[in-house]
Structure formats: C-alpha cells, structure tokens
Structure 1
Amino acid sequence: MTGEQAVAAGRTARPAGGPAARTAWNRAGAALLAAMVAAQVATGLHPRPILLTGVVVLLLAAGALAFAAAVHTLPRAAAAFGAASAIGYAAEWIGLRTGLPFGDYHYTGVLQPQLGGVPVVVALAWGGMGLAAHAAASAALPGGRAGRVALGAAALTAWDLFLDPQMIRLGLWVWHDPGPYRGVPLANFAGWLLVSLLVMAVVERTTAEPAARSTGLLAIYTVMAVMETIGFAAVFDPPDPLVSAAGGSCMGVFVLLAWGRRWRR
C-alpha cells in the first residue's frame, strides 16, 4: 500500500463523528429541508415571491451543510461548503466584469446584501447545491473520482435549466444579449459546466467520506428537481411547460441514476 493509499484508507475508516452527532446533524438537516419545502411552496403562492427567495436559499445552504456534517464532520463539511461558495462567488464576480465564463449580464438591486455586485445568497446557492450535486453523483457513480467530478458538474449545471429562467422572471438579473432558452444564452451553460467542474473537484478533495452515504444531500437534490418541475408546470404564473420539461428531465436523469444505484444495493 502506498502512502497515499494509506491516508485514503485511514480517512475512510474514521467515522464522521459519533452516532449521536450524526443523528443530530441528520435531524437538523431534515428539519431545514422541511422548512425549505414549505418556503418553496410559499413562493409559488405568495403574490411577491421574491421576498421568500433568499429564505429558500438560506435554508437550502444550511440543510446541505447539516447533512454534509453528518457524513464528513462539521470542519470538513464547512471547508467543502466554503470552498464551493467561494468558487461560485469568484466566478460571478469575474463574470460581471468580463463576461466570462457565463456571458454578459448584471444583477439588479433586488437581492441584498451584495458584495462587489454579487448577492451573497448566490454564493451560498453554489455551496449548497454543489454539495447536493456531488452527493447525487457519488450515489450514481461511487467508484472513480474523475467520473464523480464530471457527473456532479453535469448534475449541478442541470439545475441552472430551472434557475436562470426563474431568476429572470423575478427580475434578479438581466442578460445583455438574451439567448434562445427563455432569454438565456447557450454559452451560459458551458460556463456553468466549467465552474461546476471546479466546484466538484474541490468538494471531492475536501471531503473525507464518500458522499454516497448522504441520503439527506441526495434528498435535497431530489426535492429541488421535483419542486421546480411542478412549479414551472403548474404553480408559477404563467406556467412554463418547456422549462419544466427541460429542467425536470435533465435533473431527473441524475435523480434516477442515484436512487436506482441505492435501491439495487
């Protein structure tokens, strides 16, 4: 066994805290996930849904962090979450000033607070869904680091099929050169994939235990896929069957792959 293999084996053998700590973190994550679902439902019914958008993101981020702490311990979970959020923030900050890697756009003043023109909750969304997408990829493809990173990046990019059209509806950001997908340029998704690859690589290196063990993080990814599909299909005014079908089918592929692997065990 090489030195690197020994370190990896040691990391895998160490439990992510005691059973009581793991139970506490999982319960906290479940409570935060339930609250996020309630807030998402409220955004679909509220006449001014923007008021609850930040709440949904905060609950998503906190729930992901709690579920990750149950698997990896809080220090490692916080490091992974912080690194993913920092990468997302840096990409947004650079994007606003250069048009790379997403395209030319700017945030409006609706989402506050902002740092350098980037809403703080946007960085938190990168962190929370970054952990969830990595868990989905790890469940679907537990063996092979490179495969998990690539699959996780695709899973995170699939979420943007929902995110961008919804945020444009709410007036949270504006594309300077609108594209064919509900005003979103196709180059945006290439940029998302590039940034998501970096997010997944950092999460993969930071966490100690296989994220496939985290049913909670996989549940967050699944809930986001289901809620957004239903929202665009029947709740938002007006409904948008195209976005519902595109986002639901793409995120749904990763949901089915992940849960299918778990059910076959």
Structure 2
Amino acid sequence: MGRVPAGRANALGTLFLTVMTVCQVASGLSARPERFTGPIVLLLAACALAFASGAWGTARAAKAFGAAVLTGYAAEVAGVLTGFPFGEYRYSDVLWPQVGGVPVVVALAWGGMGLAAYAVASAVAPSRGWVRVCAGAGALTAWDLFLDPQMVRLGLWTWVRDGFYRGIPLSNFAGWLLVSALVMGVVTLAVGHGRGGAPARGLLVLYTVMAVMETVAFAAVFDPPDPVVAAAGGITMGAFAALAWRRSWPR
C-alpha cells in the first residue's frame, strides 16, 4: 500500500470529522448520550486514519494506528486485572463488545487520539526524539482531563476509590502519561524517524476540534455544566494545540 493522494485522504478525513462533530452535538442534546459513544469513537478512528494516510502513506498509518490500539488495549487489560498503571477501576456493561473486560471502542480511542497527539508532538518538536515523546504524552493525557469526567458521569466506568479531580485519582493521570509515552514510542517506530516531522495538519485539526467541542460541552451543553473541567481540559489541550499550530504554520 502506498500513499493515498492527499486531496482524497483529506476529503475523507474531513467527511468523518464533520459527521463525528454532528454526532457529538447530538450526544450533548440527547437524553441518552452514552448511545453515541461507540459511533463517535469509530468516526474518530476513521478520521485519524484518513488524515494519517494522506500524511504518511496508508501502510505506515495503518501500522501506527494498530500499534497505538494494541498498546492502549494492553494497558487497559493490565489496569482492569491489576490496577496498574491507572489505579483500580472497572468498566460497566454499557460499551460492547468487550474483550478481556475492555470495550473495543476504548482501544480504538487510544489509536485515534494517539495519532492526533503524535501529530501535535511532531509539530512541537519535529526533530527531537524524547522531547517529542514527552510532548505527545502530555497532549494525549490532556484529553483525559475531559474524557474521564465525561465517561464517569455517563456510567461507562467507575473508580474503586475517589480522587481529587471529579472523583478520579491522581494515579490515573500518572498512568496516562506512562501509557501515552509508550504510544508515542510505538507510533514513532511505525511512522519512521524520517517522517516524524512530516506535516499532518488534518490530525492537528482533529485534535483542535476535540478540544473545542469538549470545552463547549462541559461549559454550556452538559446538564449540569462543569466549568472546572471545561477550564482544565480547555486550557491544557488548547495550549498544546496553539503551540502545534504556531510551530507548524509556514513562516
């Protein structure tokens, strides 16, 4: 498999992104928002794959996505069975199918946002290996400032012990940083060091849209709204997105 023509890949990615955004809006307005979780994650994954294929070629994009999915899935299985690295938690039976106690869409979410965070890191540090890994780990963990509070309020998973951030323990975010760094590492190997700095602006758009949509949702759409989560996630993801756009824009 070779490189998908950039125009075609971007058009496909834009289509998936548009439909995903519509689903996110519908989810925020629905009395049963959990029903939209699976479709939103599938569209997220498809969008990331399309944009990545245009930037890196279909084979590299598929390899990078698969590596991120498997890494995230392995971490989730370990977390469910042992409590490491995130802390003790368990999934409800809302998200199906599940393999080894982990919903498949959770693994796909690691893949989709893993590629988006990698694109952010590549823009921030295009030629610095460890700096890029750290930036990508931070960008991906920033998303969880939105993700965990939202999924907990929907009853998709529960924590055995309450934590300081909307009932989520600090160990969760330490675990996210660790697993996100591993995801950045495997994606780097899959994409290839020489392509780490290749522009992937479609993935930057995806990351930015996720930041904006989640901020608006927590600030004004969810009932009740949560300005603390809106500020924490919006400022953190927004900072990574702003820096990535600033570094990637032609001078």
Q: Same fold (TM over 0.5)?
A: yes
Residue 174 of structure 1: SS of its match in structure 2?
strand
Question: Which residue number corresponds to residue 223 of structure 1?
Answer: 209
Taking the aligned partners of 1:236 and 1:211, their CA distance within structure 2 comes to 37
Contact 2:145 2:229 in 1 (8 A): yes
* Higher Cα Rg, which structure: 1
Give the total of aligned pairs: 248
Residue identity matched to 1:94:
A
Among 143, 148, 165, the alignment partner of 2:132 is: 148
Q: Deviations over 1:105-158 (max 9, x none)?
A: 000000011001100000000000000000011112212121111100010001
Q: 2:50 aligns with which of 66, 69, 86?
A: 66
Q: Distance in 2 between matches of 1:54 and 1:221?
A: 18
Trace 1:26-37 onto structure 2 (pairs within 5 A): 26-37=10-21
Which residue pairs with 1:108 in the alignment? 92
User: Following the alignment from structure 1 to structure 2, what is the Cα–Cα distance between the partners of residues 245 and 211?
Assistant: 30
1:118 has 2:102 as partner? yes
Distance 2:11 2:86 in 1: 37
Selected match of 1:131 from 97, 115, 140 = 115
Query: Does the 8 A contact of 2:218 with 2:230 survive in 1?
Result: yes
Q: TM-score, normalised by structure 1?
A: 0.91
Give the match for residue 46 of structure 1: 30
Give runs of ≥4 in structure 1 deviating > 4 Å: none
Separation in structure 1 between the aligned mates of residue 46 and residue 250 of structure 2, nearest angstrom: 30
* Structure-2 separation of matches of 1:46 and 1:191: 32
Q: Percent of aligned pairs with the same residue?
A: 61
Contact 1:136 1:212 (C-alpha < 8 Å) held by counterparts: no
Whole-angstrom CA distance in 2 between matches of 1:17 and 1:123: 25
Q: Distance in 2 between matches of 1:115 and 1:263?
A: 41
User: Quick one: distance in 1 between partners of 2:201 and 2:38?
Assistant: 25
Cα-to-partner distance string for 1:75-96 (whole Å, 9 max, x where unaligned): 1100100010001000000100
1:149-228 paired onto structure 2 within 5 Å: 149-208=133-192, 209-210=195-196, 212-228=198-214
Match of 2:78 in 1: 94
Shift of 1:23: 1.6
Aligned residue for 1:4?
none
Would you say the 8 A contact 2:199–2:248 is kept in 1? no
- Which one of the candidate residues 240, 247, 251 is aligned to 1:261? 247
Alpha-carbon offset, residue 260 of structure 1: 1.3
- CA-CA distance at 1:264 after TM superposition: 5.7
Q: Higher mean Cα deviation, 158-167 or 252-261?
A: 252-261
Q: Is the 8 A contact 1:134 1:211 kept in 2?
A: no
**RMSD after superposition:** 1.1
TM-score, normalised relative to structure 2? 0.96
Q: CA deviation at 1:17?
A: 2.5
Could you tell which deviates more after superposition, 211-220 or 126-135? 211-220
